[in-house]
Structure 1
Amino acid sequence: MKDLTKLYINGHWVESQSKATLDVINPSNESIIATVVCASVDDVNLAVAAAKNAFNNWSLTPAAQRSKIISNIAACMEERKAELITAISQTMGCPEHIASWLQVEGAIYAMELFAEHTGITEQVEKSDKCIIVKEAIGVCGFINPWNFPLHQFVGKVGAALAAGCTMIVKPSEQTPWVDFIMAEILDKCGVPKGVFNLVPGTGPVVGAELCTHPNVDMVSFTGSTAAGIKVAQAAAPTVKRVTQELGGKSALIITEGADLHAAVSYGVEDVMLNSGQSCNTLSRMLVPESLYQQAIKFAKETADNLVVGMGEDAFLGPLSSKPHQQKVLQYIQIGLDEGARLVCGGVDNPDSLTTGYYVKPTVFADVSNDMRIAQEEIFGPVLCMIPYRTLDSAIEIANDSPFGLSSAVFAQDDATAIAIARKIRSGQCMINGGEFNYHAPFGGYKQSGNGREFTATGVEEFLETKAIITCT
């Protein structure tokens, strides 16, 4: 069993001033695989003080030096790739062969890309009697999620390092193991003392203190919209910058001219990947009435062929925890109670899986967009299929949501799909089979949050703009 009971503060592994711990549960077999410390407010104060003391020197470090450190981090991540995969698979439940490419390989690539964006802090824009420069915002508090723990770690930490910020990271209580590995990597790669600090713990203690601490200049949060609202409220009295990557209820619009089988298969596999535990999953599939029954048939065939479990043939692992499994099952029951037609899946355990927090891949047909299952984020392997009459009504349905994180369009050609994409209110839109891209800024509209992650745009979130005004 892993012992995760130390904190990483000011370049050292130290004991917490709290004796509280939590068990980390493997959701595939319900076994305890680690014990993680729950830090105290005093621990957070020490970490913030370390980050504040380190800020001036780190923010003035030459861009080339920061770039080299980030590249070294990516290389060390590659060396420890197998450990990162195991940590994610055992704490989050993603089958190892999927965790490899979905959770780890992309994150390593993204970290290397951040090495290309350190120079933004040394760019100087000259205008009429004015010089404009970008400077690191300061001390940052990061509150990370459990569903993509390494991906989100890199999106925040990589960008902050590139910008010259210092930071305190609070991992999810469910998936802290990967953060401990990353702390070891950053220590090995020469990140100066105090620049990076790891303080595990609970949201009400560690998260709340990061949000309210007067010496934390920025908070970046990934999680539910409800929790994101609380983060923003807590940060408001100290006027922190707050960036949030929150919930989603993304729509896939399939047009009459699209390859229907390819489009439906793409949509079903998207919502079932990571067992539906992705904020940008395409959980609403909008299909022309003329193709609706055929699309339902294709969706059932695709979903029924997906294997649930942790083996080499598995596409869906368990959900992350018992409470989350029960929440998703409750939503499936809500869909049944609302009158949606169950095409496949449901509330029963997958065959032969009596241990672990599994849910069958579930498809609902005859869904109207005003149903709760179409409006609320389920965060599980549940697809809502909605018929539409006209393309304008499809766009209206897609936008009739409090969320606006992602979306997709499958049409007869890219030009048609792009024209539709321009009318959808979301931060991303994937067309004709497009996939997640680390060269594309990530973030949402409306209640899906604010700010962007990854690319140079993500680094800019950690910068302040300074205008130096001259007399000549």
Structure 2
Amino acid sequence: MHYIMPLVLQGGFLNSGQACVAGTRILVPRHRLAEFEQIAREAVSQVKSGDPRKADTDIGPMVSARQWERVQNYIRIGMEEGAALLAGGAGRPDGFHKGWFVKPTLFTNASNQMHIAREEIFGPVLTIIPYTDDADAVAIANDTTYGLSAIVLGKDIERCERIARLIDAGRVLVNTLAHEPRAPFGGFKHSGLGREMGKWGISAYLEPKTLMMASTQA
């Protein structure tokens, strides 16, 4: 599982978690949960908070005091609802006494019914949810009011593609975080209507005209 961890953290902590496409729910096979937790805990401990203008910074501050408070509240809610705190938690990272910095936070063994799983936090807070088999994973992935983006990671590319096709999201990335500007971008369900990028994005600016004709009978 070591090979997927960089993509897991990059996808979840993108723009300090303040991104509509951030992969904040991490679905992990239940029989490998303990293994994943150990790797993830160590990886998160290496994540560096700081000035986003510096090359060695992984996570910058929240955009405002209001957003910092919002993220802190979600961390408290996660703990109150019974999710296990694997890394991070409330307050600022060690060594930070000011600024709207949030500890890179990782919850585990969570339920998909918890607020930290069902709502968009827009902060560096990730939630691990265990699943039993592929069908269970797809059911959990689709049990959301959102459907903008998803990521499928694994060595069996055929299995990954099969699962990706079953996920109700406008964009599903398989073993990559790459962005393709020629491909349509947009979501299902509460993630909005319409598409940006490529010819699909251009069509939004066009006004189709219909001309219907019938031949006359002499």
Which residue of 191, 200, 203 maps to 1:460?
Answer: 203
Where does residue 324 of structure 1 map in the other structure? 67
Where does residue 16 of structure 2 map in the other structure? 275
Q: Give the structure with the larger strand fraction.
A: 1
- Listed as ranges, the gaps of 5+ residues in structure 2 are none
Measure how far apart 1:306 and its partner are.
1.1
Question: Does the CA contact (< 8 Å) of 1:271 and 1:383 recur in 2?
Answer: yes
Which residue of 55, 60, 85 maps to 1:342?
Answer: 85
Where does residue 352 of structure 1 map in the other structure? 95
- Listed as ranges, the gaps of 5+ residues in structure 1 are 1-259
Q: 1 CA distance for matches of 2:165 and 2:14?
A: 26
SS at match of 1:463: coil
Which residue of 433, 436, 458 maps to 2:179?
Answer: 436
The count of aligned residue pairs is 213
Q: CA offsets per residue over residues 172-193 of structure 1, 9 Å max, x none?
A: xxxxxxxxxxxxxxxxxxxxxx
Q: CA offsets per residue over residues 286-308 of structure 1, 9 Å max, x none?
A: 11111111111111111111110
Where does residue 367 of structure 1 map in the other structure? 110
Where does residue 27 of structure 2 map in the other structure? 286
RMSD, matched Cα: 1.3
Where does residue 265 of structure 1 map in the other structure? 6
Going from structure 1 to structure 2, the CA distance change for 1:265 and 1:293 (only over 3 Å counts) comes to farther
- TM-score normalised per structure 2: 0.93
Q: 1 CA distance for matches of 2:177 and 2:92?
A: 32
Where does residue 176 of structure 1 map in the other structure? none
Q: 1 CA distance for matches of 2:178 and 2:27?
A: 19
SS at match of 1:300: helix
Measure how far apart 1:462 and its partner are.
1.9
5 Å-filtered alignment, 1:161-172, equals none
Measure how far apart 1:471 and its partner are.
4.6
Q: CA offsets per residue over residues 320-362 of structure 1, 9 Å max, x none?
A: 0000010001000000101111111111211222221110110
Q: 1 CA distance for matches of 2:203 and 2:9?
A: 35
Flag the structure with larger Rg: 1
Where does residue 303 of structure 1 map in the other structure? 44
- TM-score normalised per structure 1: 0.44
**Aligned sequence identity (%):** 39
5 Å-filtered alignment, 1:153-168, equals none
Where does residue 133 of structure 2 map in the other structure? 390
- Moved runs in structure 1, 4+ residues, more than 3 A? none
Letter aligned with residue 96 of structure 2: L
Q: Which has the larger displacement, 414-423 or 314-323?
A: 414-423
Q: 1 CA distance for matches of 2:157 and 2:209?
A: 41
SS at match of 2:75: helix
Which residue of 57, 60, 64 maps to 1:314?
Answer: 57
Q: CA offsets per residue over residues 27-64 of structure 1, 9 Å max, x none?
A: xxxxxxxxxxxxxxxxxxxxxxxxxxxxxxxxxxxxxx
Q: 1 CA distance for matches of 2:125 and 2:161?
A: 27
Q: 2 CA distance for matches of 1:284 and 1:421?
A: 15
